[in-house]
Amino acid sequence: MEEEDPTSIVPRLKLPRGPIIVAMKGHSCSGKTTLAREIVRSLRLCRYVSSLLRYDDIRASIQKTLPSSSDNQGLCNDVAYRILWRMASSHLSVYDEKIPRAIVLDSSLPNRGHLERLLGFRKFFDTLEFEPFFLVVECQPRDEVIWREWSESRLASSASPPIDEPSPWEEIQREISEHKEYSMDGALCLTVDTTDSTKSACDHAMDVTFKIMSSRILT
């Protein structure tokens, strides 16, 4: 007997009637965008009006307007997050209970302050009968060989690879060494090993994600 594809059960699950907000979390090249796209695709199968908002796209647009410098990099990061939260606020502020809506935020969610901003979106739904469903999906690639290959393939696919700058893998190692873990209190968090075959990791994450959502329906 063939094993059922986890994504095939998605349309049959009963999901929350309130808005769904999924935030990705994880280091660079950890598979966040691949998984985020799968989540959006699956939500659309459930007839949710779903949007994917990517921090990297916003940051890349800002970088084009700023001279390259370490000071400007910090400014660019801060402004990109401000725009990301503003875009998310705009999507959620027009929520209509008759039209199921979901947003997936693709960013690294690097500190507690950003998580607080995410949880603060609850204020938009104080008057709704149904509470919003929040989920943080953390990507933790445990196979460093595969993770490094991902980072190197990103550099190879770049139209204009940087000269005399640290490699993506070196940047990731620096990012890891400087990262400080923080409390996830107030947020439901699902951790996924994205190097456990991208396909199976996506399927597992989607299966668990939608079962969690289904079990959290407010009646």
The arithmetic mean of pLDDT across residues 42-46, rounded, is 82
pTM above 0.85, yes or no: no
Q: CB-based contacts of 10: which residues, under 8 Å, 6+ apart?
A: 42, 45, 46, 206, 210
Q: CB-based contacts of 118: which residues, under 8 Å, 6+ apart?
A: 21, 23, 105, 109, 134, 136, 187
Tokens (6 digits) for 206: 């989607």
Residue 55 — φ and ψ, nearest 5°? -60, -45
Domain 16-215 in CATH: superfamily? P-loop containing nucleotide triphosphate hydrolases (3.40.50.300)
Residue 3's pLDDT band (cuts 50, 70, 90): very low
Distance of alpha carbon 60 from the chain centroid: 17
Question: % helix / strand / coil in the chain, to the nearest 5?
Answer: 50, 15, 35
What pairing do the DSSP bridges indicate for beta strands 133-139 and 49-54?
A: unpaired
Residue of 140, 103, 104, 116 lying closest to 26 (CA atoms): 140
Tokens (6 digits) for 53: 């908002």
Residue 126 vs residue 36, higher pLDDT: 36
- Between the alpha carbon of residue 193 and those of residues 75, 129, 190, 201, the distances in Å are 31, 35, 10, 6
pLDDT value of position 8: 44
Lowest mean pLDDT, pick from 47-56, 74-83, 116-125 = 116-125
The residue extents of the domains of the chain are 16-215
Distance of alpha carbon 73 from the chain centroid: 21
Rounded to a whole number of angstroms, the distance between the first and last alpha carbons of the chain is 36
Residue 206's pLDDT band (cuts 50, 70, 90): low
